[in-house]
């Protein structure tokens, strides 16, 4: 068993998928945006909150101790802020937007809040049923 994770049968698989999800967010944040149809203004903030909320919810699913979950959440907030700076400094087709960093942070808080609900062990229960 990987230390600090909930008692999964395949902890490395779940941790690997979570880390892959983080890598995908990083890559998508620093590469040219995919073509999207025109969406209502502010929709991207919802996308930011949802993405980071799912990553934080993943931390709740994976990590056994609440302190580890919150540490992962703090790392996600730092990543979101750092990526906004990186977009402004290292890309020509992305813009640094403080509102995106705020949306990321709100998403992280919402994702971490699932740790206070019965949803906190959903992945553990789903794996046990297989």
Q: Do the domain assignments include residue 95?
A: yes
Q: Do the domain assignments include residue 3?
A: no
pLDDT digits (tens, 9 = 90+) for 5-38: 999 999 999 999 999 999 999 999 999 987 877 7
In sequence order, the 6+-apart residues with CB closer than 8 A to the CB of 10 are 127
Q: Do the domain assignments include residue 26?
A: no
Which residues are registered as beta bridge partners of 63?
A: 5
Q: What one-character-per-residue DSSP string does 76-93 give? A: HHHHHHHHHHHHHHH-SS
Average pLDDT of span 85-114: 95
Domain boundaries, position 121:
43-128
Distances (CA, A) of 124 to 3, 9, 45, 93, 112: 16, 9, 30, 40, 16
Q: Do the domain assignments include residue 20?
A: no
pLDDT digits (tens, 9 = 90+) for 104-122: 999 999 999 999 999 999 9
Q: Do the domain assignments include residue 17?
A: no
Domains in the chain: how many in total? 1
Which residues are registered as beta bridge partners of 5?
A: 63
Specify the pTM. Answer: 0.92
Contact 55, 116 (CB under 8 A): no
Query: Which long-range contacts link 34-43 to residues 24+ away (Cβ below 8 Å)?
Result: none
């Amino acid at each position: 068993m990987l230390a600090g994770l909930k008692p999964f049968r395949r902890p490395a698989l779940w941790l690997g998928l979570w880390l892959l999800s983080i890598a995908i967010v990083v890559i998508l944040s620093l590469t040219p945006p995919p073509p999207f149809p025109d969406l209502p203004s502010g929709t991207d903030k919802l996308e930011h909150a949802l993405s980071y909320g799912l990553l934080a919810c993943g931390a709740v699913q994976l990590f056994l101790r609440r302190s580890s979950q919150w540490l992962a959440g703090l790392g996600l907030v730092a990543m979101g802020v750092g990526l906004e700076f990186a977009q402004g400094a290292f890309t020509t087709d992305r813009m640094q937007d403080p509102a995106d960093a705020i949306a990321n942070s709100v998403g992280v808080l919402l994702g971490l809040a699932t740790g206070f609900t019965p949803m906190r062990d959903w992945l553990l229960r789903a794996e046990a049923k297989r």
